[in-house]
Amino acid sequence: GAVVSQHPSRVICKSGTSVKIECRSLDFQATTMFWYRQFPKQSLMLMATSNEGSKATYEQGVEKDKFLINHASLTLSTLTVTSAHPEDSSFYICSVPTSGGTNEQFFGPGTRLTVL
């Protein structure tokens, strides 16, 4: 399966700052990556679909101007939380769907964002 890394694993920032989270597919070229968010004791919720070479597709209720996604290459997608506020504190996790017969999804280790 695909090996997916995320950086940073944990970030604490002040309200109003912007935070960039990187998702890398280490051994698989991914034209699509997914960004999920998980609040405490809640399920993972899809935020957006990152598409290499084109605009990301956002789920209903997710502000595209606040959560900027850039899929710069087949191995890297970045999520930037702009002007972060305490309510943005969450666990952000990306996934890479593999193509072929199984279409299995492999997840990164996640990034814990805490906005003070």
Partner 1 sequence: KQEVTQIPAALSVPEGENLVLNCSFTDSAIYNLQWFRQDPGKGLTSLLLIQSSQREQTSGRLNASLDKSSGRSTLYIAASQPGDSATYLCAVRFINQAGTALIFGKGTTLSVSS
Which parts of this chain interact with partner 1 (CB under 8 A)?
1, 6, 32, 34, 36, 41-46, 49, 57, 91, 93, 95, 97, 102-110, 112
Neighbouring C-beta atoms of residue 14, cutoff 10 Å: 8
Residues facing 13 on adjacent strands:
115
Q: Find the shortest distance in angstroms from Cβ 49 to partner 1.
A: 5
Which one, 16 or 42, has the nearer CB to partner 1? Answer: 42
Q: Find the shortest distance in angstroms from Cβ 63 to partner 1.
A: 18
Q: 36 phi and psi, to 5 degrees?
A: -120, 160
Which one, 19 or 23, has the nearer CB to partner 1? Answer: 23
Q: 88 phi and psi, to 5 degrees?
A: -85, -10
